Structure 1
Amino acid sequence: MAQPTILVAEKLGAGGVSMLEEGSKVEIALGMTPAELLERVSQVDALIIRSGTQVTREVFEAAKGRLKVVGRAGVGIDNVDLAAASEHGCLVVNAPTANTVAAAEHAISLITSLARHVAAADASMKAGRWERNKLVGVSVAGKTLSVFGFGKVGAEVAKRARGLGMTVLTHDPYVTEERARAQGAKLVTFDEALAAGDFLSLHMPLLPSTRHVFNDAAFAKCKKGARLVNVARGAVVDDEAL
């Protein structure tokens, strides 16, 4: 039986490539244009991507039935046309725990940076100014963190926020009160989370129902001076409203 051919379209660790090469023919083509991907996809059995490659309906049609697996080296799969994948008998898989801790730590870093104006203070110092009193910021201890999206990353953020002395609320339509409570968070409505949060941390997937869900109406319900960290997809926030 011939070995399957795997096309790696975005950077993958050397260890991962070595594992693939044990039982497959691996072709690495980084930085392909959409046209180049369309040209090559009918020659491979599997495609590995990250977030930069758009696997559209046209890609599945160009594969002519040969492409059987699209592997996302990461969590989000909003850059893959899932309906087209199903229609063409192609399995789409991701790595849901690959960067859970890294994403949670990144969110906490952004929260504390916002609280203490780290970026602004850095820019001020580089400009030759010393604005200590202006950039003192606030303590996160005793503040309320509203976590929107309580999957793996959101739950890890909640765990770390509690360690910093924060009260954690969460809104997620797919999470039970018991699961939230087990992670030390209180499950509330979307509006309640907006109104109570001193800090808002976003971790929901990008879906038709979540696109621009943080809009003028949502921001009008927030506390004055609330701070927002988006570790989800950019399009969940309406930038103009923000």
Structure 2
Amino acid sequence: MERKGISMQSSVLMALIAVGISSCAQPSKANQEKAVQDALSAEIQREQDKAAAIADSAIQGNAQSTSSFEKLAPLSAGPEFSAATLVSQVHALSHALHKYSDAEYEHVEAVLGVALPADGTGERRGITGKFGTGTYSWVVWKQSRFPVGRSVELSLDPPSLCLAFEALKAPLLADGFTMYVPTFGDDDRITFYKRVESSLTLYVAISVDRRDSPACGRKVTLDLGPSDD
């Protein structure tokens, strides 16, 4: 009888110890899960902040370009280019722009393989030439949304003309660019961005026909700006 009582006491003691260990381990597991969740939430927030900054910059760039459009002097005539040539030139620039000086006229001319004369006011340097049933324009000017550096811009006219969005997108993603698509507002630009120097990021913004399922790229703007992190 005594042995039976001792055995029962031992069982109760072991059960109490097991409960104690379980109750101590449970908060530790919960804390680990919370730490992981907090880290994921912080990373998501950083990406959302970066995306929002890109969207704000794109909207500001559009506003500045629109407000000054009517004041622009005409560009010099350039050669006729095919869609394949224009797409190739965009990707060549996305490889070549790593620092602010890379966006200077002489360097852009070398990458595009054409001269970019100054317009009548000296505000821009660029050309306009035949593309399909309309025209293209390559421009380098100080309309960049960043305080340092110049914008390099390819535009097509009339707006019904376009370059295949997939042909523009695929090589950029393969080259390590990240794609950002605005989820709200009326901005029509999809932006690709990639850190190219320790403190600089290259932004390639493409105006498209529709954001949810783009088929056409109508304007491409390349800008260098400070990296966010």
TM-score relative to the length of structure 1: 0.22
TM-score relative to the length of structure 2: 0.23
Which one has a larger percent helix, Structure 1 or Structure 2? 2
Which one has a larger percent strand, Structure 1 or Structure 2? 2
